[in-house]
């Protein structure tokens, strides 16, 4: 079965090289029992790849079960996955089989694997290593023959560094990773997908097929699609249901596309604003680091200038006033700080022409030793985003360029409720 036949069978639309490579990898790994780790943003179709792997495997006649780990409460997830014995906890009125026991001989797809609690991660690691598990409330070791496919939109390696995901489990899961490209990484497929969705909706609703005018098609291709295929499909359905005129112009299409504004500065070459809608936590950290580096560079200039001068206090302040003002000014212009500085001499520093070295000590209102903690900077940015949006978490998350779930987790972490 060639790649095009596989696309036809499973309804995969597109000819992007990245998409083709991901499909080829899935086809090659399907006949094996290797644990597969599918990476990709929300809405790119990770579950479709898990079904392809199952259907092309030797387990295709066995059961297939997809589980969203983020949708199961932490208190019951061990029972759901591994089962429980009668009386194991309040409400356990009978014995119950877990998914791993029920799907014996088949395939389990664990979506959002990064949401698993650490205790459950330990249980899963044991099952992956030797196929053994223990029900909640039991001491009997049981075995199962299940192939596990996992997926997440998180950076699991970063999660291991933060202590939120077991490092040994990460390396066990990432035996063979498959990267499903985001829609903005396969622009040539956007219009093909739109036409497919429009055709299917016309058949479903017995209505004329939605068509795009040239300017609307151009707008469609320029948009970055943060919600990926799911967002494109939803937009197509909105147009099919709500618009009387099914010949869609750019003006009409724009009403259905969320504004792609960037409230926070992005790192780009030449100072231009980024055309991508991605603005991850890592980008924020890098921006903070670059800002701090620039401030430290300016401070070094001041010190070097003072080292070269041997004049009075007034002469030193006058000669460095521009630099001092630039260092002390806040980029947000929300706080005013004093630029009064006290010049002292010390004989403990390296000598200059007059045998002394000048150092600057700020008054109480000025703190040149700024806190360099990345966590504090992140907390400050989150506070500003929440204040700017009157506590609206969805809007604040959009401004920060992170998911609402990530923002909720950060709010709990920094106790900002």
- Write the pLDDT tens digit of every residue in 292-309: 666 666 666 666 666 555
Are residues 182 and 22 in contact, defined by beta-carbon separation less than 8 angstroms? no
Residue at 321 is within a domain: yes
DSSP string computed for 148-176:
EEEEESS-HHHHHHTTSS-HHHHHHHTTE
Q: Are residues 221 and 156 in the same domain?
A: no
What does the alpha-carbon distance between residue 166 and residue 76 come to, in Å, rounded to a whole number? 20
Q: Are residues 172 and 302 in the same domain?
A: no
Q: Are residues 47 and 105 in the same domain?
A: yes
Residue 306 has what pLDDT?
61
What does the alpha-carbon distance between residue 102 and residue 267 come to, in Å, rounded to a whole number? 49
Residue at 66 is within a domain: yes
What does the alpha-carbon distance between residue 195 and residue 181 come to, in Å, rounded to a whole number? 20
Q: Are residues 88 and 230 in the same domain?
A: no
Residue at 266 is within a domain: no
Q: Are residues 23 and 85 in the same domain?
A: yes
Q: Are residues 348 and 203 in the same domain?
A: no
pTM of the model: 0.60
> Which segments in the chain show pLDDT lower than 70?
260-373, 417
Residue 386 has what pLDDT?
85
- The helix/strand/coil state of 230 is helix
**Nearest to residue 173, comparing CAs of 113, 131, 133, 112?**
113
Residue 260 has what pLDDT?
63
Can you name the residues that pair with 65 across neighbouring β-strands? 108
Domain count, the chain: 4
Q: Are residues 68 and 148 in the same domain?
A: yes
Residue numbers of the domain that contains 343:
290-362
Q: Output the domain CATH number for residue 73.
A: 3.40.50.300
75-112 pLDDT, tens per residue? Answer: 889 999 999 998 888 888 888 899 999 999 999 999 99
Residue 300 has what pLDDT?
65
Residue 105 has what pLDDT?
93
């Amino acid at each position: 079965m060639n790649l095009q036949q596989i696309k036809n069978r499973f309804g995969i639309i597109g000819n992007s090289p990245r998409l083709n490579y991901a499909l080829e990898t899935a086809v090659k790994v399907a006949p094996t029992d290797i644990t597969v780790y599918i990476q990709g943003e929300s809405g790119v179709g990770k579950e479709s790849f898990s079904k392809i792997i199952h259907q092309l495997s030797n387990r295709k006649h066995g059961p297939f079960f997809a589980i969203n780990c983020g949708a199961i409460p932490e208190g019951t997830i061990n029972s759901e996955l591994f089962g429980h014995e009668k009386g194991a906890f309040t409400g356990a009125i009978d014995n119950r089989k877990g998914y791993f026991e029920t799907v014996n001989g088949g395939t389990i797809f664990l979506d959002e694997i990064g949401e698993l609690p650490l205790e459950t991660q330990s249980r899963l690691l044991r099952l992956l290593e030797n196929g053994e598990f223990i029900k909640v409330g039991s001491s009997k070791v049981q075995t199962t023959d299940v192939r596990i496919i996992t997926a997440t939109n998180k950076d699991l390696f970063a999660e291991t560094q933060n202590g939120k995901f077991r490092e040994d489990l990460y390396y066990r899961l990432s035996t063979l990773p498959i990267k499903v490209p985001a829609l903005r990484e396969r622009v040539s497929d956007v219009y093909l997908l739109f036409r497919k969705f429009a055709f299917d909706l016309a058949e479903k609703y017995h209505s004329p097929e939605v068509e795009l005018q040239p300017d609307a098609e151009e707008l469609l291709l320029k948009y970055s699609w943060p919600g990926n295929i799911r967002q494109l499909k939803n937009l197509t359905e909105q147009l099919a249901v709500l618009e009387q005129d099914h010949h869609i112009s750019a003006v009409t299409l724009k009403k259905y596309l969320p504004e792609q504004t960037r409230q926070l500065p992005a790192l780009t070459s030449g100072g231009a604003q980024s055309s991508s809608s991605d603005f991850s936590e890592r980008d924020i950290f890098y921006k903070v680091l670059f800002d701090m580096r620039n401030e430290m560079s300016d401070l070094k200039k001041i010190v070097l200038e003072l080292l070269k001068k041997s004049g009075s206090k007034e002469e030193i302040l006058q000669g460095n006033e521009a630099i001092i003002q630039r260092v002390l000014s806040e980029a947000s212009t929300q706080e005013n700080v004093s630029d009064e500085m006290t010049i002292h001499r010390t004989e403990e520093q390296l000598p200059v022409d007059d045998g002394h070295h000048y150092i600057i000590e700020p008054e109480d209102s000025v703190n040149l030793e700024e806190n360099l903690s990345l966590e504090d900077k992140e907390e400050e940015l989150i506070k500003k985003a929440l204040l700017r949006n009157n506590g609206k978490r969805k809007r604040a998350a959009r401004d920060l360029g992170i998911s609402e779930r990530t923002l909720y987790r950060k709010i709990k972490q920094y106790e900002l409720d």
